[in-house]
Every structure is written in C-alpha cells, then in structure tokens.
Amino acid sequence: MPIAITREVSPAVNECELTNLERQPIDYERACGQHKQYVAALRSLGLEVQILPADPHLPDSVFVEDTALVLDECAIITRPGADSRRPEVDSIVKVLTPYRKLFHIQAPARVDGGDILRAGKSIYVGLSTRSDTSAVGQMQEYLRPYGYEVKGATVTGCLHLKSAVTQVSKDTLLINPEWVDRQLFKGMKFIEIDPSEPYAANAVLIGETIIYPSSFPGTQKRLEAAGIRMVIVDADELAKAEGAVTCCSLIFN
C-alpha cells in the first residue's frame, strides 16, 4: 500500500515564512479542519497515512514535502532555503530511515522539496529564492547511478517550481506559463491554468487521480475537459502560508 507522511498544523502557523504573499491572519482551527479533509482524501485514494504530531516550535512544519524527495530507490533529505525550516528535517529522517537509503544535501546548498518535480526519470529543480544550482549538482551525483537526470528550472513570480507546474497524468503537466518555461519539459503535454487563477497549477497526482483545491473553478473546468479525475478539497487557509496541496504530504510506495 502506498504511504503518505503528513504532519498536523502547527499552532504557530501564523509565524510562517512568507516570500511572495502579504501576511494575512490564518484561522488555525479552520486550517486544521481543511488538513483533516486532505488526509481523508489521501485515504480515499488508497494511501496509508502516517500523521506526525504538530510542532509548536516549527510554524511551517505542516509542509512536509519541503524536507525530502522520496524515490523508489532512495530518498534525498533536503536543506531548506529558509533557516527557520532546517530543523524540520530531523523528524523526517527518523520516519524515512526504515524505508529508504538516505542521501543528504550538504551546506551551503539549499533546496526545498516544493521546488522538486519528478516526471519519470527526469527531475526538475526550481531555481528560486529557496533552491540553488549547488543542490542540483549534489542531487545529480546522488541519483545518476539510478538513471535519473536532474535539471534546473528557472522560476519567476512564485515561491516554488510546483507553484508553477505539477503533473496531472503520466504525460501531462498543469502549468502557469507566466512562471516557468514549458520548453524545459520535453516530451510532456500541457494543460494551462485559467489566467485569472495564477496559483492554480498545484495538484497531487495519486495513481490516475489528482487531489485539487476547490479555490480554482476555472482551471478545474479545464482539467475536467481534459478527462482528469479529481478529488476536490478546501485548501485556502494554508494557502495564506504559501502552502498548496503537494506541500502537505510525502508520498511513496
């Protein structure tokens, strides 16, 4: 059974790091309720969900995706771009150790998991305010023996690569072409977001179904027209912390 690692929302979430958004009050109880809905969606798609306890000292720790890249052959423990987030990796190391051989991104390189998009044997790393070319080089060294190619992808206008593009089927990406160049992703098909919904490119692909936020009805219609199956969840509260649906889980077999 596939596994999803999640973490409950920190009661300190209002102290989260912000880069591209203005700070707005986050309703903690509402955020927790939406996170429970997200966990239920994961379970409805056949995943075994492991829920780590909230950490009151780590405001962004609900966004577990940023701490690791988990592949079939191994896992890479990241070195998050924000100093305040680096302690988040410690608990994830303990969780992943029984499942995978672990590699660690070494200082001074920086990379958030939200900047890492895998499509088959190609791994794209967003070159953003949180991730750099040094991390790309280290990842390539770790993953070359397993047949992966790691490529940098310049990101503009958003926090992470997966704010701009995510996979919605085996050969199709959902993309905001204003934030990342589609020419980087050779051999892939594309669905463009509704231009009025710039943050709509983030979806979690599980099997042949995506988990998708309810906040983007225009893009949802485009996905439906393309035959993409969806489980819709509310995720607008954690979006105030620059979080999205991919951010809240680490999924692997």
pLDDT by residue (tens digit) across 27-79? 999 999 999 999 999 999 999 999 999 999 999 999 999 999 999 999 999 99
The percentage of residues in the chain with a pLDDT greater than 90, rounded to a whole number, is 100
For residue 203, the one-letter residue type is: A
Helix (H, G, I), strand (E, B) or coil at 70: strand
| Sheet containing strand 189-192, strands side by side | 165-169, 172-175, 189-192
Task: In whole angstroms, give the CA distance from residue 87 to residue 92.
Answer: 10
Give the phi and the psi of residue 21 in degrees, each rounded to 5. Answer: -115, 150
State both tokens at 130.
Answer: 């949180």
Task: In whole angstroms, give the CA distance from residue 43 to residue 48.
Answer: 6
pLDDT at 1 over 90: no
Q: Catalogue the active-site residues.
A: 160, 247
pLDDT grade for 136, boundaries at 50, 70 and 90:
very high
Q: Within its chain, how far is the Cα of 51 from the centroid?
A: 17
CATH class of this structure's domain 3-252: alpha beta
Q: Given this model, what pLDDT does residue 28 score?
A: 98
Q: Structure pTM? A: 0.97
Supply the mean pLDDT for the chain.
97
Helix H or strand E segment including 173: strand 172-175
Task: In whole angstroms, give the CA distance from residue 138 to residue 109.
Answer: 8
* Residue bearing tokens 């990842």: 139
